[in-house]
Structure 1
Amino acid sequence: MVKSFQGVREAPIKPSNQPILVSDYMSTNLVTFRPEDSIDFVIRMLTRKRISGAPVVDETGKLVGMISEGDCLKEIIKGQYTNTPKFPAAVAEHMTKDVRTLPPDISIFDAADRFLTLKIRRFPVVKDGNLIGQISVSDIVRAIPKLKASTW
């Protein structure tokens, strides 16, 4: 009697049509600020929109920095010492200028790793030098339950 053995077969790799890229989960309707905006204006907008920070863009829309609640605290402390209830300093004086960005075509898992490694709460998403969106830790956390376990 002859037995046939075909050996171990590799299962064909099935392309995932499941969205797992930063571009699939990033926010695109962004609040942005200009370098010449006042910290007073930023504080009002962050409070009104219930966000903790936003990109800063120049007149052409190019990303030039990020401003956060923490950056605003510097001007608030300065206002306490000068007994100034308004915060007239410009965003350019307090924003983070060396901004870490992400491209839209990396996976949310790679983005999650960068969030943990760099201890950053949000990344602007930039393509060809242009700001196209922003992704936050919350965006990644909200994306995970939507993924199918078999296609990770």
Structure 2
Amino acid sequence: MQTIAGIMTRDVVTISEDATLREAAALLSEKQISGAPVVDAQGNLVGILSESDLLNEARKRAALPRTAAFGFFVASEEILQRLYHDGADLCVRSVMSTNLQTATEETTVVEATRTLISRKINRLPIVDSTGKLVGIVTREDLLKAVFSL
């Protein structure tokens, strides 16, 4: 059975857990990717950040200031703009997904495909025996492998 060692990307784009959401969004846009592993200062894998993490958190935070504890009122445009900008300055660690599914280079293409489908995820970080990030496999990588594209 083919393993993911031959199809994974080894030069992984990562995001620091201390990066702001603005910085992370700029990196994802620049690299034209929809998500990336998040690492701490030592390079250890601590999470995954995807576009949906950025959008969902932005929606939650934007919705919170619109109501008061004792009734409803519409916040001023100035307050909403300040909160929007403050939200963009939040650290990645505050919105990243931490319920991680990882694989090793010995994981088969079939196993990796099952994992992505069953977990409804788009990327699978590949770690070595010490847990260090050594690569990543995406749905696109698996499609290419399965269909030899």
Query: What residue is the counterpart of 2:50 in the other structure?
Result: 68
Distance 2:36 2:62 in 1: 22
Q: Which amino acid aligns with 1:105?
A: E
Query: What residue is the counterpart of 2:12 in the other structure?
Result: 30
% identical aligned pairs: 29
What secondary structure, in the 3-state scheme, does the structure 1 residue paired with 2:147 have?
A: helix
Matching residue within 33, 38, 41 for 1:51: 33
Runs (5+) with no aligned partner, structure 1: 1-15, 148-152
- TM-score with structure 1 setting the length: 0.78
Distance 1:34 1:123 in 2: 18
Distance 1:69 1:125 in 2: 20
Distance 1:48 1:121 in 2: 19
Instruction: Say what the alpha-carbon RMSD is for the aligned residues.
Output: 1.8
What secondary structure, in the 3-state scheme, does the structure 2 residue paired with 1:97 have?
A: coil
Query: What residue is the counterpart of 2:115 in the other structure?
Result: 114
Distance 2:99 2:113 in 1: 20
Structure exhibiting the larger radius of gyration computed from Cα positions? 1
Q: Which amino acid aligns with 2:50?
A: S
Q: Which amino acid aligns with 1:109?
A: V
Count of aligned pairs between the two proteins: 129
- TM-score with structure 2 setting the length: 0.79
Query: What residue is the counterpart of 1:39 in the other structure?
Result: 21
Distance 1:138 1:73 in 2: 22
| Greater relative contact order, per chain length (Cα 8 Å cut-off, separation 6+) | 2
Distance 1:35 1:28 in 2: 20
Alignment of 1:3-152 (within 5 A): 20-77=2-59, 78-79=61-62, 82-84=80-82, 86=85, 87-128=88-129, 129-146=131-148
Distance 1:131 1:106 in 2: 15
Q: Which amino acid aligns with 2:93?
A: A
The one-character-per-residue Cα deviations of 1:37-71 (angstroms, maximum 9, x if unpaired) are 00000111111111000001111111011111011
